[in-house]
Amino acid sequence: MENEAMSVNPVYQDLLEQLQRTAERIPETQRRMMGQLGVAWSPDRMVKAVVGPRGQLVDLVIDPRVFRQPNAAALTTMILQASRDAADQVARQVDEIMQEQLPPELTELRARQPREDLGLGDHFADLMRSDAQRYEEREDRP
């Protein structure tokens, strides 16, 4: 009778083992995520933006030829667009690393089901919007 009380349903046992393996991989997953960089260029290749894993700008390279015909508004646009593109790139990389850690069944479910059906619709999309997108929507921006 004691052995029956101690036995675990095989389905739950498998789930527990998956959770244990996922938990053991957390430090490596974090290390991989924190090692990601997003790199993007302006269409004319005059501006290069590099962002870290959190989407923060870590390097900016401006080709000196930009200053031959100064245009602050155009330069601002190039910097912002390259930064956004780099942030989008690194967000996709980090998401891919996270998806690798999910149990295969959950990954398959997410691929088959629209996010709305999983209850992730607008809320998830809102969470994934960049700071730049949020800033553009502000009415009180300078």
pLDDT at position 139 is: 78
Beta carbons within 10 angstroms of residue 63's beta carbon: 15
- The tokens of 29 are what? 């997953």
pLDDT at position 1 is: 44
pLDDT at position 6 is: 63
Q: What is the DSSP letter of 46?
A: S
Q: What is the DSSP letter of 115?
A: G
Is pTM, for the whole model, over 0.85? no
Cα–Cα distance measured from residue 70 to residue 8, given in angstroms and rounded to the nearest whole number: 71
pLDDT at position 50 is: 96
pLDDT at position 71 is: 96
Q: Among 84, 92, 88, which residue's Cα sits nearest to residue 47?
A: 84
Rounded average pLDDT per 10-residue block, the chain, 142 residues: 62 80 88 93 96 92 95 95 93 86 69 56 56 74 70
pLDDT at position 10 is: 79
Q: Regarding beta strands 57-62 and 47-51, do their DSSP bridges make them parallel or antiparallel, or are they unpaired?
A: antiparallel
